Amino acid sequence: MAHGPAKGIGRWLFTTNHKDIGTLYLWFSFAMFLLGGCFAMIIRAELFEPGMQIIKPEFFNQMSTMHGLVMVFGAIMPAFVGLANWMIPMMIGAPDMALPRMNNLSFWLLPFAFTLLASTLFMEGGAPNFGWTFYAPLSTTYAPDTVNYFIFGVHLMGISSIMGSINIIATVLNMRAPGMTLMKMPMFVWTWLITAFLLIAVMPVLAGAVTMMLMDINFGTSFFDAAGGGDPVLFQHVFWFFGHPEVYIIILPAFGVISHIIPTFSRKPLFGYSSMVYATASIAFLSFIVWAHHMFLVGMPIGGELYFMYATMLIAVPTAAKVFNWVSTMFRGSLTFETPMLFAIAFVILFTIGGFTGVMLAIAPADIQYHDSYFVVAHFHYVMVAGSVFAGTAAVYFWLPKWCGRMYNETMAKTQFWISFVGFNVTFFPQHFLGLAGMPRRYADYALQFSDWNMVSSIGAFTYGASQLLFIFIVIQAIRSGKQVSEPKVWEGAEGLEWTLPTPVPYHTFTTPPEVK
């Protein structure tokens, strides 16, 4: 029996349209981004000066935990799944995702998972207080009762990720338009195909870790309890076998986004397309065999330290190849600097800084000094925020006119870029100095000698937070009252070539390099 289009709230509840589901993912992820940002603002407000001013240490620990969990699993991952839902079917010429109803279910699990997690803030015992990596025995023997809600939320989130990944793989492998071979796919599709395989491989590992936690807490087992013959270090092995590929699950789709934006505003095809595909696959493979570089202090044998040190340094090679390809794409291009390009260039520069500090942390003897200091916090925020969040913001500016047929205010968007760029660097660059000077992470109080850079860092954090409020204003204004997108333009490219841009989207929203006349 045929049904007409659903109206009102039913349209969003029961939709199987990939664009609607992509929109749901994007709005949900931004809501989580604001929530996680509020937790971060509480942390930075407390660290503005030494001593305990605003909150108790226990609540500080809860904020640290909730900030990490909400940002990684609630904001960044769903944002890129939203981009995948919107763009992949259009990029490969498919009418929709392969499994539309499962697509709907995979989204609607997320609000329940994160409502469950956030509700622990209002329960007796408070939110989880053991950090976003939830190491045993902090998360088992000494955890508040709300840990069970956290475990259930993680399971729901994992089920959602696995279903979304199956859908992406089925869509890309089975529903490409005739003539689109794998090596003709846009880079964003490639990065997501590889990411989807990573998710299916590692999400069950996370599920296993939290299930063993559940058994230790409630059923008398001792997987991670040394008193019962278990091993707390086992938890770290299991967690990081999930956790390190997870970092690349977060960054690979960002690489795909940047691989579209830079060629567009350079008015050149992407340099070294096939090498980009192979580099992405190499990064994904290597991400599985470097997990214990997070564990140099657990007392592993020297041979293990050497292996993980060299393997970690090796993963920098395909990553550097991608950076060289992006720079080569820009080289002698006919560059213009609209907002998406500004974010993309900032991504390349800042992600490279994050990569260099990652190589520093890969060196085992040095890592013993840097470990659990603010140097690590600075490193992974240069990868996560300047990487994933900058790329996600660039993607929204890049494709928003394609999504809604209206153009954002370019002047306001560039203003938002500069505020967020300055705010980000003022927040996180000083944390390198704090870490090298010996300030440990996750502490609610600190010694007097760290006060100046902490004050600078907190000012930067509130600046960056303000830029996100401007971002949401720009997006809503564009959707409600932005200029209708113009007819396609023909640009004089490098060496007198004309680029004809496709209809009916504006010049900087196409998804594959244009045809050369």
Give the active site residues: 67, 96, 132, 160-161, 244, 246, 248, 259, 293-294, 319, 322, 441
Q: Quick one: tokens of 28?
A: 């949900």
Q: Quick one: tokens of 151?
A: 């475990």
Total H helices, total E strands in the chain: 17, 5
What length does the chain have? 517
Dist CA 44 CA 386 (whole Å): 18
Q: What is the DSSP letter of 488?
A: P
Q: Quick one: tokens of 80?
A: 């890129």
Q: Quick one: tokens of 136?
A: 């045993």
Residue bearing tokens 């880079």: 187
Half-sphere exposure of 483 (CA within 13 A, CB side): 9
Dist CA 97 CA 126 (whole Å): 40
In this structure, what are the phi and psi dihedrals at residue 499, rounded to the nearest 5 degrees? Answer: -100, 120
**Other CB atoms closer than 10 Å to residue 490's CB: what's the count?**
12
Q: Quick one: tokens of 329?
A: 């794409």
Q: Is 82 helix (H, G, I), strand (E, B) or coil?
A: helix
Residue bearing tokens 């793989």: 169
Dist CA 41 CA 62 (whole Å): 13
- Cβ burial of 380 (10 Å; 0-12, 13-18, 19+) is middle
Residue 205 vs residues 78, 215, 239, 288: alpha-carbon distances, Å: 19, 15, 8, 12
Q: Is the peptide bond before 137 cis (omega within 30 degrees of 0)?
A: yes
Q: What is the dihedral of CA 163, 166, 34, 441, to 10 degrees?
A: 100
In this structure, what are the phi and psi dihedrals at residue 419, rounded to the nearest 5 degrees? Answer: -65, -45
Each residue of 222-254: b (16+ CB within 10 Å) or e? bbbbeeeebebbebbbbbbbbbbbbbbbbbbbb
Partnered with residue 492 across adjacent β-strands are: 498
Q: Is 107 helix (H, G, I), strand (E, B) or coil?
A: helix
What would the 3-class secondary structure string for 224-284 be? CCHHHCCCHHHHHHHHHHHHHHHHHHHHHHHHHHHHHHHHHHHCCCCCCHHHHHHHHHHHH
